[in-house]
Every structure is written in C-alpha cells, then in structure tokens.
Structure 1
Amino acid sequence: MASSGERITANPLPIEKSPKASSEGRKTSTGTQDSVQNAKDEMVGEVGMLEAQGAQHFKRLGWKRLTVVLIVEAIALGALSIPQAYATLGMVPGIILTIALGLIAIYTSYVVGQVKLKFPEVAHYADAGRLMMGKFGYELIGAMFTLELIFLVGSHCLTGAIAFGNLSGDAWCSVAFAFISAIVLYILSVPPSFAEVAILGYIDFVSVMLAIGITIISTAVISGKAPGGIQAVNWSAWPKENITFADAFNAVTNIVFAYSFAVCQFSFMDEMHTPKDFVKSIWSLGLIEIFIYTITGALIYAFVGVDVKSPALLSAGPVMAKVAFGVALPVIFISGSINGTVVARYIHGRYYKDSVVRFINTKKGWITWLALLAVITLIAWVIAEAIPFFSELLSIMSALFISGFTFYFPAMMWFMLIKKGKWNAKENLFLSIVNGIVFIIGMVVLVAGTYSAVAGVMMNYKKGTVRGPFTCAPLA
C-alpha cells in the first residue's frame, strides 16, 4: 500500500490509431506531393518546350538570307552620302578609297566570322569584347555597340523626316515628320527574328536600287539639257581647291560609314543554322557594296559636279527628287528598323539571359520587348532632333564607332583570339602586318575623324547653315 506522501499516477491507456485513418493520411500526403511534383514537371516541360521553340525559331538563317540581312543593314545611307564625298575628295581618290576600304571591310568581316566560329557562344559584339578584355571589354564594347545602333536608328529617323519634308513640300513641322518616322521605324522593328527581317530585305534592296537608278538617270538628263551638256559639268579628278583637313576627313568617314556591316555580324551569325557559310555572305555583300558605291558616287558626281547634295536624292531635281524619295521610303525605314531590332535583342537578351523570356515567345517576353523597343526608338528620335544635319551625323558615328567595329577591333581579335604562335613567325608575318595596318587605320579614323566631325559641326553653326535642335525649320 502506498504511503500518503506518494502520488499514484495512472498510466494513460495508449490510443490506437485506426488503420484506415493512418492509411488515408499517408495517401493524402502522398497525393499532395505527387500533385506538386506533377505541377513542377508540367512547368519544367512547358519551359523546356518554349526554350526549344525559341532556339529553333532563332536558328533559321542561311547564307543567302544572311546576305540579304547584311544588305538591309549596310546599303542605305552610305550610298546616299558618297557622291558628296567624291565632290570633296575628287573622282580618283574617291574611287580608290571606296574600293580599298571595301576590301578591308571584307577582310575584317572575315576575321569577325572566324571569331564566331571559334567561339560559338559569342552572340553580339560585346561578347567578343569580353574575350579580349574581360568584364571591362564587355561593358565598353557593349556601350559602344548600343550607342552606335541607336545613332543609326536616329540617322534613319532624320532621313525619313527629310524624305517626308521633300515629298510634302515641307508642309509640316520637321519635328513632326521625324516623330512619324520614329513610329514607322518602331513598327518595322517589332519582329525579333532576323529571318523574318530578311523577307523585307528584298523590298529594301529593290527600293534602294530604284532610288539610286532614278537619281542617276535624272541627274544625267538634267546635266544633258544644261548649257554645254554633260561635258560642262564642273567635276574634278582631284580634291577641290582650298579644301580643309576637316572637310577632307569628313568625306573619308562618310565612305567609312558605308562599310559598317561588321557591327551587326555577330548578332546575325548567331541565328545561322550553318555559321561556316558566312564567307559566301560577306564576299557577296562586300562586292555588291563596292560596285554600288563606286557607280553611284562616280556617276552622280560626274553628272552633278561639285554642287551635289547629301543625301544624293536631293540632286535629282524638284520633281524627280520627290519620286526618288517616295521610292526610297522602304529602304530608309527597313534599314533603320533592323538596327533597332539588333540593339533591342542585345539588351533584352542580356537582361533575361537565363530566362525563357529572352526568346520573346511568352506574354512577358512580348511586353518587355515592345516596351524596350519604344524606349530605344524614343531615344533615337531625340538624337535625330538634337543633331539635325545629315553628313556631320554620319561623320561623328563613323569616327567614334565604325572605326572600332570595322577596323581596330577586328585587328585586335586577330592578334588576341585567332593568331597561333608568335606574330613574327613565318606563317603569321604577312597577316600581322595586314592587321597592324588595319589597326592604325582605325586609330586614324577615330582621332582625325572625330576632330574633323566636331570641327565641321562648329563651322556650320558659325556660318548659320544649321538650324537649331527641335525646331520646325526644313531639314534639307
């Protein structure tokens, strides 16, 4: 018997769980886990499907379409500024520079293609900068790449405003025409795949060839009807008298600008299903460009003389200039829009690098894509209005950006990424010299071109020949 100080505690009877309840609990838990896992699997499967669709969608470019896309990006504004460059430099130096710079551009474009084949992960020019100079190179060249393409969109915006003003007899404020141009450029830049842009490329090429053809024929007819005929046209084989260094180098940079296709080459090649075929594209494009630029510059300069205007369509006479500008509208806007597409692809892909959003095949992908394009186009429009003059804008762009993308960056790539062994080895010596010369050309264009472009702008403002920014005065 227990003592009074002890507490008797009764052990509670164990509560037995119902076998049925226990089984149902396990089933519920297992069922919930299965549902979550199935949902995860479905999500992963959907993302994987979108990834596969996106990757396939952006690998449809063959060498023929690449050629067309490069033509869209390259042959537009360049052809319209070369006749005036010939008027400054003279026929002989102009033709020599056009051919020589074209051949150099083909070679540097070949180097760019070699880098892409050796390093397939390079999707844009900035990625090549990372290979050469690490994070600093990536950010530096990425900034240059972005500014260059936005400036190109802006220059096409400006040309569109000139075209609309010419067609309407400057019926509206030029700021409004530039804004309308920006809207058109925005709409045409919406398709994110370059394979889709290639379809518009055929229209673009026909447009520029018709515009150039109309201009050549019209100027020939005008000069033929003038007193003394074509023989009386005031043109020269050599540079004009009392030419300044700034004027001469501005003309050179306008020719340099015409061969700016390497800037987008990495971006275009990233969509090729057979990248090694790029050689066919760059040779096709390069030879076509050299032919078109030489014929356009030489004939229009020979028919118009030292008073040829830039863009050259303005030299076709009042009526035919309207016709030429009307025909040129597709090339003005299609060529401009592809630059917006490229820079938007770079920024969008960089921000959504590890997300399916980068393929622009989801709701979020399309919303962010359209918003980004709107911002880029707005900035380009501001540039077009802040620098409302054609040739000087081309010169500034060429000096600051094309000098690198077309000349000294490819030369650096050859030395740092392509060359095997020492630079002075027997098998490397010739190309080392070639790339050294190309690098020097790029540096000269950068320094002298920038100086000349800025000097030209200051001189035009001093003479009062340039309207103020954001005013309604006619552009041309």
Structure 2
Amino acid sequence: MAVTGNTLSRKKVDGTDCDDAVRVDQEVGFTSPGLPNDVFGQEDNHDIKYKTLSWPLTAVLMIAEIISNGMLSLPSSLDAVGIVPGVIVIAFLGVFATFTAWLLIEFKLRHPEVHNMGDAGNILFGPVGREILSAGTVIFAVCSAGSQILAGQLALTVLSDAKLCATAFSGIFTIAVAICSFPRTLHNLSLVWVVGGISIISAGIVAMVGAGAVPVDKGNIVITRSSDFASAFISLTNPVFAYAGHFVFFIFISEMKRPQDAMKAAWTLQIVATSFYISFAVVTYWYIGQGVSSPSLLSLSPLWSKISFGLAIPNFFIAGSLNLHTAAKLVFVRLFRGSRHIHSHTFTGWSVWALLILLVNTVAFLFAVGISIFNYLVGIAASMFAAWYTYGLAGAFWLHDTYHYGGGYDGWIKNPIMFSLNVLTVLAGGFICVGGLYGTIYSLREAAEAGELPPPFQC
C-alpha cells in the first residue's frame, strides 16, 4: 500500500480485501464510521447513540481528565531540580505528548475497530497483548481514580479543618465519583466535564493569586540544583505523568461524530496544558519559594488554600469518574460488542453496566483507603502502563502500520526521520518505565525504613 506523506491508508480490514466495501477518506486515510469494523457501527436507528461528541467537547473532556491533581505537584518538581531544567522538561514533555497524541490518533483513524489500548495491543502483539494492555488500562484507570479520591479526601479535610474521619471523607467523595461515572455515553457526561475543566483552571488561577497575595518566601528559588539520578528522576516523574492521559484517547475518539477532527482536540489540550503547567509551576514556586509542598495548595495561607481546594473539588471527582467510566466501558464493550445490549435499553445491558460501575468504584475506594502503600502503587502502575500508553506505544503504532501497510522495511527506509523519531519514542517509553519503577520502589523503601507509611483506613 502506498504511503502519502506520513499518512497510511488501509486496503484491508481484518485481513480481507475490501475495496468495494470500505470507503477510504483520501484526506486522512480514514475508514469511515458506520462500517462493520467500526466500534459502534451505524447508529441511526438505535436507542443509545455513542458517536455524538464534537471536537471542542472532546477537547474539554481531555482537559478535565488530564489537567488535574497531578498539576499540583509541579512546583515541588521545580524546587527539586531547579526552575530552569524543570521548565525545560515540562515544555519538552508537552511537545512530546503532542507528537505521541498525533501518532495515536493516526493509528485510530487507520483502525476504526480499536476502542481501547487492549484492541490496539491485539493488532500489535496478538491475543496476549490484548489481555495485557486491557488489564493495564483497567488497573491504571482504577489507581488514577483512587488517587483522585485521596485528593478529594485531602480537599474536604482542609475545608472542614479535619472535623470528620478521613475515611468517611473518602467514602463521601466516592459516592460523587460513582454518580458521575454512571451515564453510558460520554456525551451525557459533557456538562459535568465542562464544569470539571473550569474547576481546575479556576483553582490554579486562584492559587497563583493567593500565592502572590500572601507570599511565603518570595523569590527564594533555585535556578538549577544538582542531585543524584534517583532523586532527580523521582522529582521529574510529576511532570512526566502530568501528561499521562493518552490511555483514554481511543475511547474518546470512538465516541466522536467526526474522528478526523480528533487532532484539533489534542492540539487544544496540549497548548492549554503546557502553557498552564508552566505558568502555574513558575508563579507558585516564585512566591512560595524553596520547600513548597506537594500538593502546592498546602503551602498557601489557610484562607487561599481552602478557596483553591474548594474550586478544585469538582475536577477531582469528575476526573475520577472519567477514569472509572473508562475502566467500566472497556469491559462492557468487550462483553457486548456487536450485540443489542450496546445500543438498546436492555435489562442485561443496564444490569451489567451498573454492576461494573459499582465494582470499579468499590475497588478504587478500597485501594485508596485500605492499602498503606497506595500512593506508591499508583506510581508503579503509572510507570508500568502510562509510560507506554502516553509515550512508548505511539512509536510502535507507527512502526507497525508503516511496515504492514507502507511496504515493509522499505517503508521505514523511505521515512528515515520518522523511523528514527519513533524508535526513540519506543526507547523513551522503556526508559520512563524502568526509571519510574526504580524511583518509585526506591521511594517506597525509604518511606518504609523511616516509618512514614500511613496506616490503612486512617482517621
């Protein structure tokens, strides 16, 4: 199959020549939705329609999911390595994440049957790859939601001056997460996701204002700080995983009216995220100075801390609900793809969906409050899976499709720059995975030896 630029067109679907059955959009090499291999097929006459998202709404969903509690650790990362290398890393990762988003979206457009990372794993590595990447998606989504539950617990504790048991706050927060994750389609979540996007941006702006209004140690910052590899890498995992939301992109794009517009949403996300991350990290670090806490809102004055946490709460439970919706949707589509339970209001369909939502929310809650090493477990899951979903696998997508649909090794040779970039992308994913695991396990050992691990179900 010929290659036009870097965009590939598929002549085969599931190994069968289908020139007469598949209309290929010459603009992007996209096999049109509504065909048998599309995730949700033709929906005109169905009760439940999934492919309803516009690209601006998809961009809002991406912003609400990715720009969340991870942002609040960025000022401490600047303090750990210095403001100059810290800003350079955040900016580079923004560019890198944009590149890998483009690779992922191009892969999805060439393979409309892909609904999640498990489906992509099946194309790349066969049934074993499908099970590993599907399980990794569910595990990472549940751990991410548990992290949001803990962020919500902390916010409620700060707002109430710790007047209630922390586990009770977590339970209250989990109920809100479960309610928001229950709708079957992403479009039905659109209003709350708009609120979630506004919430975290507003919280960040107010936090910067609060830091400037009541500075702690203004201007006492480090330009560059020398440290050992382990300490530096541990600090830089915050910005690395602040962009780690690509694992939901396939599911988002599957529910878009025009998947061809997905890159517009990705551009919007990355421009907003990178600019906001840098602004928030630099301004907060400048006014608070060395020793800034993680999350940084704890370093603000009590009043500004409460205001900022209060504004961030909607994003915490909305981002958590999206993660759990993603985990449940992966399993639900896997069970019922192609059946009437996907698009019709059947008792079986709704019962299984309700059971999945209850299950993933319960597991996220129990993980968050019942495992003393949960924060380190999140770091391990991020290193093992998010490093590949956001970075490494994107390179593998391009290498696979260029080889299979672009002329084999000749396709690689004819695109030396792209070939090199994608090989480096795969290697970067491996480096982040190994480095992240080393840093997390190192931190866990240090915390255990110092007796700093919190007890389970603490109050």
Bin the TM-score by the shorter chain: 0.7 to 0.9
Counterparts of 1:171 and 1:366 in 2: how far apart (Å)? 38
Counterparts of 1:281 and 1:390 in 2: how far apart (Å)? 32
DSSP 3-state at the match of 1:469: coil
- The answer for the alignment partner of 1:293 in structure 2 is 277
- The answer for the alignment partner of 1:237 in structure 2 is 223
Superposition deviation, residue 367 in structure 1: 2.0
| 1:395-416 deviation digits (Å, cap 9, x = unpaired) | 3333121111011111111101
Counterparts of 1:359 and 1:81 in 2: how far apart (Å)? 41
- Does the 8 Å CA contact 1:411/1:436 hold for their aligned counterparts? yes
Superposition deviation, residue 393 in structure 1: 5.4
| 1:437-460 deviation digits (Å, cap 9, x = unpaired) | 111111111111101111112212
* 1:148 partner letter: F
> 1:249-328 counterparts in 2 under 5 A?
249-328=233-312
- The answer for the alignment partner of 1:116 in structure 2 is 108
* 2:420 partner letter: I
Q: In the superposition, relative to structure 1, how do residues 360 and 311 fare at CA in structure 2: closer, same or farther (>3 Å)?
A: farther
* 2:123 partner letter: L
* 2:256 partner letter: M
- The answer for the alignment partner of 2:177 in structure 1 is 185
Counterparts of 2:306 and 2:51 in 1: how far apart (Å)? 40
Q: In the superposition, relative to structure 1, how do residues 195 and 288 fare at CA in structure 2: closer, same or farther (>3 Å)?
A: same
TM-score for both structures, normalised by structure 2: 0.86
- The answer for the alignment partner of 1:7 in structure 2 is none
- The answer for the alignment partner of 2:39 in structure 1 is none
Q: In the superposition, relative to structure 1, how do residues 335 and 301 fare at CA in structure 2: closer, same or farther (>3 Å)?
A: same
- The answer for the alignment partner of 2:50 in structure 1 is 58
Match of 1:430 among 406, 417, 421: 417
Superposition deviation, residue 51 in structure 1: 6.7
2:84 matches 1:92: yes
> 1:16-27 counterparts in 2 under 5 A?
none
- Does the 8 Å CA contact 1:215/1:315 hold for their aligned counterparts? no
- Does the 8 Å CA contact 1:158/1:388 hold for their aligned counterparts? no
DSSP 3-state at the match of 1:230: coil
> 1:349-360 counterparts in 2 under 5 A?
349-359=333-343
Q: In the superposition, relative to structure 1, how do residues 93 and 286 fare at CA in structure 2: closer, same or farther (>3 Å)?
A: same
DSSP 3-state at the match of 1:57: coil
Aligned identity (percent) is 28
TM-score for both structures, normalised by structure 1: 0.83
- The answer for the alignment partner of 2:345 in structure 1 is 361
Point out the more displaced range, 112-121 or 395-404.
395-404
2:452 matches 1:471: no
Instruction: Give 5+ residue unaligned stretches, structure 2.
Output: 1-41
| 1:205-254 deviation digits (Å, cap 9, x = unpaired) | 2111111112111112222xx6xx724x2x10112x5x343322122211
- Does the 8 Å CA contact 2:43/2:49 hold for their aligned counterparts? no
- The answer for the alignment partner of 2:20 in structure 1 is none
2:56 matches 1:70: no
Q: In the superposition, relative to structure 1, how do residues 139 and 148 fare at CA in structure 2: closer, same or farther (>3 Å)?
A: same
Superposition deviation, residue 165 in structure 1: 1.0
Point out the more displaced range, 284-293 or 462-471.
462-471
The structure with the largest helix share of the pair is: 1
- Does the 8 Å CA contact 1:250/1:392 hold for their aligned counterparts? no
- The answer for the alignment partner of 1:445 in structure 2 is 432
Q: In the superposition, relative to structure 1, how do residues 303 and 393 fare at CA in structure 2: closer, same or farther (>3 Å)?
A: farther
Counterparts of 2:297 and 2:410 in 1: how far apart (Å)? 47
Superposition deviation, residue 56 in structure 1: 6.2
2:143 matches 1:143: no
Q: In the superposition, relative to structure 1, how do residues 82 and 360 fare at CA in structure 2: closer, same or farther (>3 Å)?
A: farther
Q: In the superposition, relative to structure 1, how do residues 247 and 359 fare at CA in structure 2: closer, same or farther (>3 Å)?
A: farther
Q: In the superposition, relative to structure 1, how do residues 251 and 460 fare at CA in structure 2: closer, same or farther (>3 Å)?
A: same
Q: In the superposition, relative to structure 1, how do residues 290 and 216 fare at CA in structure 2: closer, same or farther (>3 Å)?
A: same
- Does the 8 Å CA contact 1:80/1:311 hold for their aligned counterparts? yes
Counterparts of 2:65 and 2:313 in 1: how far apart (Å)? 15
Instruction: Give 5+ residue unaligned stretches, structure 1.
Output: 1-49
* 1:236 partner letter: V
DSSP 3-state at the match of 1:379: helix
Superposition deviation, residue 392 in structure 1: 4.3
Point out the more displaced range, 296-305 or 457-466.
457-466
Point out the more displaced range, 413-422 or 58-67.
413-422
* 2:435 partner letter: A
* 2:298 partner letter: L
Q: In the superposition, relative to structure 1, how do residues 236 and 424 fare at CA in structure 2: closer, same or farther (>3 Å)?
A: farther
Counterparts of 1:230 and 1:103 in 2: how far apart (Å)? 30
- Does the 8 Å CA contact 1:253/1:398 hold for their aligned counterparts? no
- Does the 8 Å CA contact 2:153/2:173 hold for their aligned counterparts? yes
- Does the 8 Å CA contact 2:368/2:374 hold for their aligned counterparts? no
DSSP 3-state at the match of 2:352: helix
Matched positions, count: 417
Superposition deviation, residue 425 in structure 1: 5.1
* 1:454 partner letter: I
DSSP 3-state at the match of 1:100: helix
* 1:93 partner letter: P
* 2:427 partner letter: I
- Does the 8 Å CA contact 2:140/2:378 hold for their aligned counterparts? no
